[in-house]
Structure 1
């Protein structure tokens, strides 16, 4: 699997370590998003998720808790608990570790290649993305957080 960037929900994503490289133990992805970006509140039934802020300011929402993090700080989203994030700076980059691995296949199946670094985000079909989430035991639990 390549670590080339692709678009997912309007942000750029790269698979840094695929689950197949770790025998399914974990996978690592990198997300680069702009101010205001927030995926819907969602639940992973199979994976724990750890976010590490690499650049920018990000609020993480886990259950009824909110964590405002900056570079070098991390948060944990346990499997079975609703979570999301909101980008609070102009741009932010974060790493996400999923354990066990393989959920990255859902992201890559629903992404589109980034042809040029400066291009605008590719359009996406949220209905199709959510419909395929069932296959990876990912469920939407609410709208994106607003702050």
Structure 2
């Protein structure tokens, strides 16, 4: 079933908080005719989103700083700055930050999922602010419209 996605609601220039990490949309889908979007994630040690599946887009991760373990299907990739991994659509995946902090770029193709991140974000008023609290149930409830679903808990090792 191909559901139409809600319209874009977020700011593509300013960073925001999402699930306790700092996120910025670097290239929105509106700039690529919907073919690609690019986002930057800065997360603290131990940060790990729930195991999840994107039904609508592939994902490429490029580690800029730090060490991140990616879990894609049954595979595990321990990556460092400069390394790249691929998360194909339809395959459960997640990641776990292993260094004190990590920064990565994620490219999504086709675009659109960046709107879900922006719609479920909290603004950053000062770069020294602590991450905003969030309602994980509300965030997950909005994921269906973006063909995103949770497949398990966050990885811990």
For the criterion TM > 0.5, the same-fold answer is yes
Of residues 80, 93, 114 in structure 2, which corresponds to 1:70? Answer: 80
Alignment of 1:23-102 (within 5 A): 23-102=33-112
- Tell me by how many angstroms 1:2 deviates: 2.9
Of residues 3, 28, 35 in structure 1, which corresponds to 2:13? Answer: 3
- Tell me by how many angstroms 1:104 deviates: 0.1
- Tell me by how many angstroms 1:95 deviates: 0.2
Aligned-pair Cα RMSD in Å: 0.6
What is the TM-score of this pair, normalised by structure 2? 0.93
- Tell me by how many angstroms 1:6 deviates: 0.2
Which secondary structure does the structure 2 equivalent of 1:128 belong to? helix
Distance 1:138 1:126 in 2: 14
- Tell me by how many angstroms 1:142 deviates: 0.2
Alignment of 1:121-132 (within 5 A): 121-132=131-142
| Aligned residue pairs, count | 147
Distance 2:90 2:99 in 1: 28
Of residues 138, 144, 147 in structure 1, which corresponds to 2:154? Answer: 144
Distance 1:19 1:44 in 2: 16
Contact 2:12 2:27 in 1 (8 A): no
Which secondary structure does the structure 1 equivalent of 2:142 belong to? helix
- Tell me by how many angstroms 1:102 deviates: 1.1
- Tell me by how many angstroms 1:51 deviates: 0.3
Distance 2:20 2:13 in 1: 18
Contact 2:22 2:42 in 1 (8 A): yes
What is the TM-score of this pair, normalised by structure 1? 0.99
